[in-house]
Amino acid sequence: MKKLLYGTGNPAKLESMRRRLGGLQVEILGLEDMEREAPDVPEDGCTPLENARKKALAYHQFYGIPVFSCDSGLYFEGLPEELQPGVHVRTVNGRYLTDGEMLEYYSSMAEKYGNLKARYRNAVCLVVDAEHIYESMDDSLASEFFLLTPVPHSGIRHKGFPLDSLSVDIKTGKYFYDLTEEQIDRVAVEDGFLEFFKNYRDYPVAGEIMENEKTVV
């Protein structure tokens, strides 16, 4: 089976992407699977696509193998540009927020402006080699719209995903934490990422190249 490096050290994101791309017959590796520790890549772009591109190029240069990276931004319908979190979901007025501080900040926003209609815009950049770089921030990669409420879920918190406890699916009226895996896949717009990679799956993703970089698999 071919292998492809996903430029993330977040186990939850890695497992989610593995589910999304399960039909491609490609083994998705994460940064933790690599023998050499990944370099820090500043995510200082102004858009999700800029950050995805920076990470993918940096990891490809470091490991010398095909790699893809993703990034996302949070956008609220009807709010002015200066109130849009975008890629700075965790950074407010130059300050990095903890999970608890994020809950407090965004629940206050939802209380001030009413239930906020929101969605995540996602971007992906795939670097196969210097001649083959593919990227997208198409609407097919965006999440469905959902509501951000001022009242957190009563009993569930997942470290690293604090806003999920404020997020409510519009179709079912359920918190994200109460949705089935199939419902979560629908909200996350699984097919957009799958279609992106289907377009490029015939290019060499790792194969014998991967043998040059020892992995723990």
Domain range list for the chain: 2-212
Which residues neighbour 135 within 8 Å (Cβ) at sequence distance 6 or greater? Answer: 49, 52, 53, 56, 123, 124, 125, 126
Q: Is residue 180 over pLDDT 70?
A: yes
Tokens of 97: 């927020």
Instruction: Determine contact, residues 8/69, Cβ cutoff 8 Å.
Output: yes
Confidence band of 204 (pLDDT split at 50, 70, 90): low
- What pLDDT, on a 0 to 100 scale, did the predictor assign at position 213? 41
User: How far apart are alpha carbons 22 and 63 in whole angstroms?
Assistant: 24
Q: Is residue 214 over pLDDT 50?
A: no
Phi, psi of 147 (to 5 degrees): -105, 135
Region 120-131 average pLDDT = 93
Confidence band of 203 (pLDDT split at 50, 70, 90): low
CATH number among 3.40.50.2300, 3.20.20.70, 3.90.950.10, 2.60.40.1530, domain 2-212: 3.90.950.10
- Tens of pLDDT, residues 50-106: 999 999 999 999 999 999 999 999 999 999 999 999 999 999 888 999 999 999 999
Q: Is residue 215 over pLDDT 80?
A: no
- What pLDDT, on a 0 to 100 scale, did the predictor assign at position 172? 92
Of 120 and 157, the structure prediction assigns the larger pLDDT to 120
- Tens of pLDDT, residues 144-172: 999 999 999 987 777 778 898 999 999 99
Q: Provide the sign of the torsion angle of the four alpha carbons 81, 76, 197, 208, taken in this order.
A: positive
Mean pLDDT of the chain: 87
